[in-house]
Amino acid sequence: MTVFHDLLRVQEHDSAAARLRHRRQTLPELAQLSTTEDELARVEATMTEVNAASAEAARTQRHLEGELALVESKVSELDAKLYSGVVTVPRELQAMQTEGQALRERRATLEDEVLEAMSTGETLADQVADLERRHAELDAEGARLRVAVAEAQADVDRELAAELEARVEAATLIPPDVDALYEQLRARLDGVAAAPLVNGRCGGCHLALPSTEVARLRTEPAETLVRCEQCERILVRP
Ligand SMILES: [Zn+2]
């Protein structure tokens, strides 16, 4: 065993830690939570619109009902006058009947409009109820997912802490210059600075070393730091 074998263990722990950090950021529960929050925002925006439309429909209905009451009182007034026998001039009676007819037509139109406004109001109230139900569902789903995310992250954090602890232990005998080179290569080579040499092949770039190079490496003392000519990683001989 050389410090390079320790370095390979450090590399394994660093790679495992990188995978765990990646997993922490790409938890499926996080993606689900984001989808749920997006839908919740859409539902809230729709609720605002539907509530405004509902208030508008209620205003319209009140206005129409007010107008209808007015027309109804005019009809009653006219009828009372017509049947009281006060008016006897045929031309006046004729005029009153014509006015009465117009008022009744107006009343019929307003009654239809009130019914239509009520129907619109009911449809909108149903939509509000549906949206409130969906909002409550999404709220509950969001809460459930936040708990799931926290639990999954806590699991990852425990594994990460174990990896980092094992890394510290593996790194105790690594000389500062080797460690510095390792960190420099890791920053440049996608997190992998040390690789095993297996069957004449670099475990970092996976390319076969020329046979002359493999032969040369065999003659190098075990304590000598050797690197892959192709990817520059530190090669750890068996
Ligand atoms: Zn290589």
Distance CA 54, CA 49 (A): 9
> How wide is the angle at C-alpha 107 spanned by C-alphas 102 and 112, nearest 5°?
130
Instruction: Calculate how far, in angstroms, residue 160's C-alpha sits from the geometric centre of ligand 1.
Output: 27
**Across residues 117-140, what is the average pLDDT?**
97
Instruction: Calculate how far, in angstroms, residue 201's C-alpha sits from the geometric centre of ligand 1.
Output: 8
Residue 88 is predicted with a pLDDT of 85
State percent of the chain over pLDDT 90.
Answer: 95
Q: Which long-range contacts (CB under 8 A, 24 or more apart) does 185-190 make?
A: 185/232, 185/233, 185/234, 186/14, 189/231, 189/232, 189/233
| 150 — pLDDT class (breaks 50, 70, 90) | very high
Instruction: Calculate how far, in angstroms, residue 228's C-alpha sits from the geometric centre of ligand 1.
Output: 5
Model confidence over 46-100: pLDDT tens digits? Answer: 999 999 999 999 999 999 999 999 999 999 999 999 889 888 899 999 999 999 9
Model confidence over 172-222: pLDDT tens digits? Answer: 999 999 999 999 999 999 999 999 999 999 999 999 999 999 999 999 999
- The contacts of residue 189 (CB under 8 Å, 6+ apart) are 204, 231, 232, 233
Residue 3 is predicted with a pLDDT of 95
Q: What is the mean pLDDT of the chain?
A: 96
More confident residue, 82 or 159: 159
Distance CA 99, CA 91 (A): 12
**Across residues 9-36, what is the average pLDDT?**
97
Distance CA 66, CA 70 (A): 6
Instruction: Calculate how far, in angstroms, residue 177's C-alpha sits from the geometric centre of ligand 1.
Output: 20
Instruction: Calculate how far, in angstroms, residue 218's C-alpha sits from the geometric centre of ligand 1.
Output: 17
Residue 155 is predicted with a pLDDT of 98
**Across residues 8-21, what is the average pLDDT?**
98
Residue 1 is predicted with a pLDDT of 81
Terminal CA-to-CA distance of the chain, rounded, Å? 9
Residue 127, pLDDT above cutoff 90? yes
Instruction: Calculate how far, in angstroms, residue 199's C-alpha sits from the geometric centre of ligand 1.
Output: 13
Instruction: Calculate how far, in angstroms, residue 229's C-alpha sits from the geometric centre of ligand 1.
Output: 7
Instruction: Calculate how far, in angstroms, residue 183's C-alpha sits from the geometric centre of ligand 1.
Output: 16
Distance CA 38, CA 187 (A): 36
Instruction: Calculate how far, in angstroms, residue 231's C-alpha sits from the geometric centre of ligand 1.
Output: 4
Instruction: Calculate how far, in angstroms, residue 46's C-alpha sits from the geometric centre of ligand 1.
Output: 57
- Please state, in angstroms and as integers, the Cα–Cα distance from residue 219 to each residue in 14, 187, 212, 222, following that order: 30, 30, 11, 9
What DSSP string runs through the chain?
--HHHHHHHHHHHHHHHHHHHHHHHT-HHHHHHHHHHHHHHHHHHHHHHHHHHHHHHHHHHHHHHHHHHHHHHHHHHHHHHHHHT----HHHHHHHHHHHHHHHHHHHHHHHHHHHHHHHHHHHHHHHHHHHHHHHHHHHHHHHHHHHHHHHHHHHHHHHHHHHHHHHHHHTT--HHHHHHHHHHHHHTTT--EEEEETTEETTT-PBPPHHHHHHHHHS-TTS-EE-TTT-PEEE--
pTM: 0.76
Residue 129 is predicted with a pLDDT of 96
- Identify which of 191, 66, 47 has the alpha carbon closest to the alpha carbon of residue 124: 47
Instruction: Calculate how far, in angstroms, residue 23's C-alpha sits from the geometric centre of ligand 1.
Output: 27
Instruction: Calculate how far, in angstroms, residue 62's C-alpha sits from the geometric centre of ligand 1.
Output: 81
Residue 106, pLDDT above cutoff 90? yes
